[in-house]
């Protein structure tokens, strides 16, 4: 396993990403700032990447739709990026208020160059000079996630999961020692713990398994950020800003578990079993377990590293619970 190590003396360069739920409201903002400050107080150089606070993105999008049913994509990006820009500024203010030297940067100021596809831009390159200059000056850098700028200087947004992608791409460009992604769940579980009793947190998960979970309904990480981590071999620590649990490490594993999780996708009406042993035999066992509970499987699908069962939307949650109980208890 190759680790991206770039030691600054005996200290580390750490990229930390905080999602909107971790920043919603004054108390949560203070908690996130405390995590950032603790890392800096340990002598590390810290780059924090932030999402828009709470439901700010949805609120801005709602405002835009009230003004225009067909707003230009360029103007939507200019508007929606305000959520992350404001969040970065407020996080920096909170850090300054507790005595830390800090600077907030937009995506463009952080050197993030994207293509020109507004609303779903992809990062082309990152010029880390400005970030490194601020870090070398002893400052914490708070970068706005979800955004960058195209070659002409116009603001672009990266689409769903864009702040996670920003964090991973920055960690790769900076050759960070550690990339941490904070949300309201403390890692990856064998099923969504908010829906399934008895779901167990995984200590580690392979990039490929995480990608399959993301593509089949898991909401913890977007598939684009997983792909970015896999390409650059960035080891990602998935943590909660509300607990101090160890969380889950996403990395390349030579000893992948046979099965690692069960997900649901409400839009497709599927329950999926993910893992290298999720084969036709496992699929048949799952169909039988659901049939025993009078849940009809209308269609099945096998794919590399997993399988899916299609069920009626109103039976999706019990199907998830039964499938998890069959293979993870």
Q: How far is residue 44's CA from residue 11's CA, in Å, rounded to a whole number?
A: 5
| pLDDT the model gives residue 102 | 98
Residue 272 clears pLDDT 60, i.e. is over it: yes
H-helix or E-strand spanning residue 136: helix 129-136
Q: Report d(CA 315, CA 204) in Å as an integer.
A: 30
Average pLDDT over residues 44-62: 94
pLDDT in tens, 97-118: 999 999 999 999 999 999 999 9
Helix (H) or strand (E) holding 18: strand 13-18
Residue 178 sits at φ, ψ, to 5 deg, of -150, 135
Query: How far is the C-alpha of 114 from the C-alpha of 158, rounded, in Å?
Result: 9
pLDDT in tens, 237-259: 999 999 888 899 999 999 999 99
How many distinct helices (H) and strands (E) make up the chain?
A: 10, 16
Cβ contacts of 21 within 8 Å, gap of 6 or more: 28, 54, 183, 184
| The pair of three-digit structure tokens given for residue 325, joined into one six-digit string | 């109980």
Q: How confident is the model over 280-308, as a mean pLDDT?
A: 97
Q: According to the model, what pLDDT value does residue 1 have?
A: 27
pLDDT of 160 reads: 86
Q: Domains in the chain, please, with CATH? A: 13-183 (3.40.1160.10), 261-328 (3.30.70.260)
Helix pair angle (56-67, 73-97), 10° resolution: 150
Over residues 301-321, mean pLDDT? 96
pLDDT band at 10 (very low <50, low <70, confident <90, very high): low
Tokens of 251: 């990395």
pLDDT exceeds cutoff 50 at 2:
no
Mean per-residue pLDDT, 127-138: 98
Which pLDDT score is estimated for 169? 97
**For the chain, what percent of residues have pLDDT higher than 90?**
91
pLDDT in tens, 203-215: 999 999 999 999 9
Is residue 215 within a helix (H) or strand (E), and if so which, with residue range? helix 207-215
The span from the CA of 81 to the CA of 8, in Å, is 32
So what's the pLDDT on residue 5?
35
What is the overall mean pLDDT for the chain? Answer: 94
Both structure tokens of 276: 């290298």
pLDDT tens, position by position, 153-200: 999 999 988 999 999 999 999 999 999 999 988 999 999 999 999 999
User: Using an 8 Å Cβ cutoff, are 272 and 217 in contact?
Assistant: yes
């Amino acid at each position: 396993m190759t680790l991206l190590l770039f030691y600054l003396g005996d200290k580390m360069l750490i990229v930390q990403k905080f999602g909107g739920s971790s920043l919603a409201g004054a108390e949560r903002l203070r908690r996130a700032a405390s995590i950032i400050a603790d890392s800096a107080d340990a002598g590390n150089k810290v780059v924090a990447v932030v999402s828009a606070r709470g439901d700010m993105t949805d609120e801005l999008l709602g405002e835009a739709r009230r003004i225009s049913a067909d707003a230009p994509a360029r103007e939507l990006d200019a508007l929606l990026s305000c959520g992350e820009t404001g969040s970065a500024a407020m996080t920096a203010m909170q850090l300054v208020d507790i005595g830390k030297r800090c600077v907030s940067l937009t995506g463009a100021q952080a050197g993030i160059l994207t293509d020109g596809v507004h609303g779903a831009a992809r990062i082309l390159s990152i010029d880390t000079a400005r970030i490194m200059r601020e870090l070398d000056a002893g400052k914490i850098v708070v970068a706005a996630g979800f955004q960058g700028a195209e070659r002409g200087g116009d603001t672009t947004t990266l689409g769903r999961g864009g702040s996670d992608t920003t964090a991973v791409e920055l960690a790769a460009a900076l050759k960070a020692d550690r990339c941490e992604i904070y949300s309201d769940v403390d890692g990856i579980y064998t099923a969504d713990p908010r829906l399934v009793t008895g779901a167990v947190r995984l200590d580690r998960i392979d990039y490929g398994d995480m990608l399959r979970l993301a593509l089949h309904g898991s909401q913890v990480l977007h598939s684009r950020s997983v792909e970015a981590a896999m390409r650059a071999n960035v080891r990602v620590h998935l943590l909660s800003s509300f607990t101090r649990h160890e969380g889950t490490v996403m990395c390349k594993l030579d000893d992948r578990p046979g099965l690692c999780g069960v997900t649901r996708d409400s839009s497709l009406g599927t329950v999926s079993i993910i893992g290298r042993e999720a084969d036709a035999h496992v699929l048949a066992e799952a169909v039988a377990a659901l049939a025993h509970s009078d849940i009809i499987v209308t269609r099945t699908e096998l794919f590399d590293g997993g399988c899916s069962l299609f069920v009626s939307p109103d039976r999706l949650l019990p199907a998830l619970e039964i499938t998890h109980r069959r293979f993870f208890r």
